[in-house]
């Protein structure tokens, strides 16, 4: 669908009808849909119109597709409302908001084992995507400087990553003119492997992206093994490739649930880490984080220093003005929950994910690709010879309100289609049991009422 336009053949009325109680505000009882009205509505009527329209949005609690936070405590709502007018970029006017951002960066750097949290540097962003763009730019700049110092050409940068990367990395490569070198995934390894990394890196590789929590099936990529492979490459060929960890989900999960797993700044090769504050950071949409292990990992000419705060918080972002409320909410969560609170919330999610994965694995029609032991998300497929597809399951279970996405795995594995369940804070064991019941009923119906052949073939695409 083209941006901001409607599919052809999908004709929309050009006016929106108003409730009888509101009619007459503008005399007409209706509003133009695509044109700004000439006159004004009163505030209560305008509110009702927008409110009513938004009721058609999905029910977030039944949406198992998204990783993004849909519930926060009442106090967080109050704080966010209090900060709704604060502009994050205006550090001069809102120095305390900037101070909270700085504390969050320090807390995350410490959580991710930066050797001295004070020398790590980072920033809040609008989400992981922006964090990934910034981290990718830093890699590109550093590589270019190193190539220039060697007198070597720097016109063909590439970035090595699994074909399972989130779309933001393909965007990064296209927007910033970097070759995206996607390492194919296989049935046995649905994500990046040390061998794949070794085979794809060369002197033009600006970095390797390792994902903590693959979007496709929730598995952690083996960051430590990838780092070892790159250490070996460096010692045998002199090609020294840094790692960026895309911890969009996992950087807020692994520190609490897998404290012995080595994936972060504890590995010298890891130069930067991003995370989505609005995923398992448990904040409403609009916040991400990116942290570099030390200042040398972030080329200074990418950073615009604001000295009215002492020059400590670098300004590095794709946006200028953006809301400060999410930063306050992130700081609230960090001090409200503490390490123990985050551990309890994430453990509950993992327990529910693993329980549900186990129940689904016991159904004869399904096979798990992952079991929720990475981030609390897992993927499963319909076994061969069953009379229906994952797309049928996704479509049918939607009739009960559940949104369980079905999609094809990345290139080279695209004949494998899966369903994915993301367990977020608030998706309780009770809800999981309800979903399981509906899944079983859906399967029974699909088994007893064969679909038209056409339907089976084309399925349903999100």
Contact residues for ligand PLP (CB under 6 A)?
67, 127-129, 132, 166, 168, 211, 213, 215, 246, 248-249, 276, 288
Query: CA 416, CA 408: separation in Å to the nearest integer?
Result: 6
Q: To the nearest whole angstrom, how small is the minimum distance from the Cβ of residue 86 to ligand PLP?
A: 21
Query: CA 23, CA 238: separation in Å to the nearest integer?
Result: 74
| Pick 67 or 143: Cβ nearer ligand PLP | 67
| Pick 67 or 94: Cβ nearer ligand PLP | 67
For 237-265, give one letter per residue: b (16+ CB within 10 A) or e.
eeeebbbbbbbbbbbbbbbbbbeebebbb
Structure tokens at 144: 């270019």
| Pick 212 or 417: Cβ nearer ligand PLP | 212
| Pick 265 or 280: Cβ nearer ligand PLP | 280
| Pick 163 or 443: Cβ nearer ligand PLP | 163
Dihedral, 303, 308, 313, 318 alpha carbons, nearest 10: -50
Structure tokens at 406: 């079905």
Structure tokens at 116: 């001295």
| H helix runs in 282-389, sequence order | 325-361
| Pick 213 or 314: Cβ nearer ligand PLP | 213
Cβ atoms within 10 Å of 357's Cβ, excluding its own: 26
Judge contact between 132 and 299, C-beta under 8 A: no
Q: To the nearest whole angstrom, how small is the minimum distance from the Cβ of residue 285 to ligand PLP?
A: 8
Specify the residue for token string 């133009």. 32
Cα 393 from chain centroid (whole Å): 24
Query: CA 294, CA 291: separation in Å to the nearest integer?
Result: 9
- Nearest-Å Rg of the Cα atoms of the chain is 24
| Pick 132 or 439: Cβ nearer ligand PLP | 132
Q: To the nearest whole angstrom, how small is the minimum distance from the Cβ of residue 128 to ligand PLP?
A: 3
| Pick 129 or 389: Cβ nearer ligand PLP | 129
| Pick 196 or 277: Cβ nearer ligand PLP | 277
Judge contact between 352 and 432, C-beta under 8 A: yes
Q: To the nearest whole angstrom, how small is the minimum distance from the Cβ of residue 111 to ligand PLP?
A: 18
| Pick 45 or 166: Cβ nearer ligand PLP | 166
Judge contact between 436 and 442, C-beta under 8 A: no
Q: To the nearest whole angstrom, how small is the minimum distance from the Cβ of residue 199 to ligand PLP?
A: 22
Q: How far is CA 57 from CA 46, 52, 61, in A?
A: 18, 10, 12
Q: To the nearest whole angstrom, how small is the minimum distance from the Cβ of residue 78 to ligand PLP?
A: 24
Beta-bridge partner residues of 124: 289
Q: To the nearest whole angstrom, how small is the minimum distance from the Cβ of residue 158 to ligand PLP?
A: 19
Q: To the nearest whole angstrom, how small is the minimum distance from the Cβ of residue 61 to ligand PLP?
A: 19
> Cα dihedral sign for 136, 140, 141, 146?
positive
Q: Are strands 243-246 and 205-211 parallel, antiparallel or unpaired?
A: parallel
For 388-421, give one letter per residue: b (16+ CB within 10 A) or e.
bbbbbbbbbbbeeebbbbbbbbbeebeebbbbbb
| Pick 209 or 303: Cβ nearer ligand PLP | 209
- SS3 percent helix, strand, coil of the chain, rounded to 5, is 40, 15, 45
Q: To the nearest whole angstrom, how small is the minimum distance from the Cβ of residue 276 to ligand PLP?
A: 4
Query: CA 236, CA 229: separation in Å to the nearest integer?
Result: 11
Q: To the nearest whole angstrom, how small is the minimum distance from the Cβ of residue 405 to ligand PLP?
A: 13
Q: To the nearest whole angstrom, how small is the minimum distance from the Cβ of residue 234 to ligand PLP?
A: 26
């Amino acid at each position: 669908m083209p941006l901001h336009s409607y599919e052809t053949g999908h004709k929309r009325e050009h006016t929106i009808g108003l409730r009888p109680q509101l009619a007459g505000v503008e005399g007409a009882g209706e509003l133009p849909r695509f044109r700004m009205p000439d006159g004004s509505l009163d505030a209560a009527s305008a509110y009702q119109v927008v409110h009513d329209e938004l009721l058609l949005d999905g029910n977030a609690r039944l949406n198992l597709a998204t990783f993004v936070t849909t519930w926060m405590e009442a106090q967080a709502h109050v704080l966010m409302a209090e900060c709704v007018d604060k502009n994050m970029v205006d550090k001069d006017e809102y120095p305390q908001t900037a101070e909270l951002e700085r504390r969050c960066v320090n807390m995350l750097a410490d959580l991710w084992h930066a050797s001295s949290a004070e020398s790590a540097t980072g920033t809040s962003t609008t989400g992981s995507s922006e964090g990934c763009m910034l981290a990718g730019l830093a890699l590109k700049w550093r590589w270019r400087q190193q190539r220039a110092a060697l007198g070597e050409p720097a016109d063909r940068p590439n970035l090595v990553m699994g074909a399972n990367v989130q779309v933001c990395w393909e965007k990064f490569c296209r927007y910033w003119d970097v070759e995206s070198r996607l390492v194919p995934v296989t049935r046995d390894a649905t994500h990046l492997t040390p061998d794949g990394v070794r085979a794809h890196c060369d002197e033009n590789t600006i970095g390797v992206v390792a994902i903590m929590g693959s979007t496709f099936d929730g598995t952690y990529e083996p960051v430590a093994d990838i780092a070892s492979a790159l250490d070996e490459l460096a010692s045998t060929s002199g090609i020294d490739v840094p790692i960026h960890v895309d911890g969009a989900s996992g950087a807020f999960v692994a520190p609490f649930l897998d404290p012995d797993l080595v994936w972060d700044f504890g590995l010298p090769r890891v130069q930067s880490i991003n995370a989505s504050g609005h995923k398992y950071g448990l904040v409403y949409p609009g916040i991400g984080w990116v942290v570099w292990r030390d200042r040398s990992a972030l080329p200074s000419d990418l950073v615009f220093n604001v000295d009215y705060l002492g020059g400590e918080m670098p300004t590095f972002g794709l946006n200028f003005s953006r809301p400060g409320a999410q930063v306050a909410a992130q700081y609230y969560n960090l001090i409200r929950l503490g390490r123990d609170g985050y551990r309890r919330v994430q453990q509950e999610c993992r327990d529910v994910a693993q329980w549900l994965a186990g129940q689904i694995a016991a159904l004869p029609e399904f096979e798990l690709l992952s079991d929720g032991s990475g981030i609390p998300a897992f993927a499963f497929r319909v076994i061969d010879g069953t009379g229906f597809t994952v797309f049928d399951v996704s479509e049918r279970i939607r009739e009960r309100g559940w949104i369980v996405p079905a999609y094809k795995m990345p290139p080279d594995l695209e004949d494998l289609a899966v369903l994915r369940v993301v367990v977020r804070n608030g998706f309780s064991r009770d809800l999981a049991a309800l979903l399981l019941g509906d899944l079983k009923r859906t399967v029974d119906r699909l088994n007893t009422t064969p679909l038209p052949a056409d339907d089976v073939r084309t399925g349903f695409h999100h």
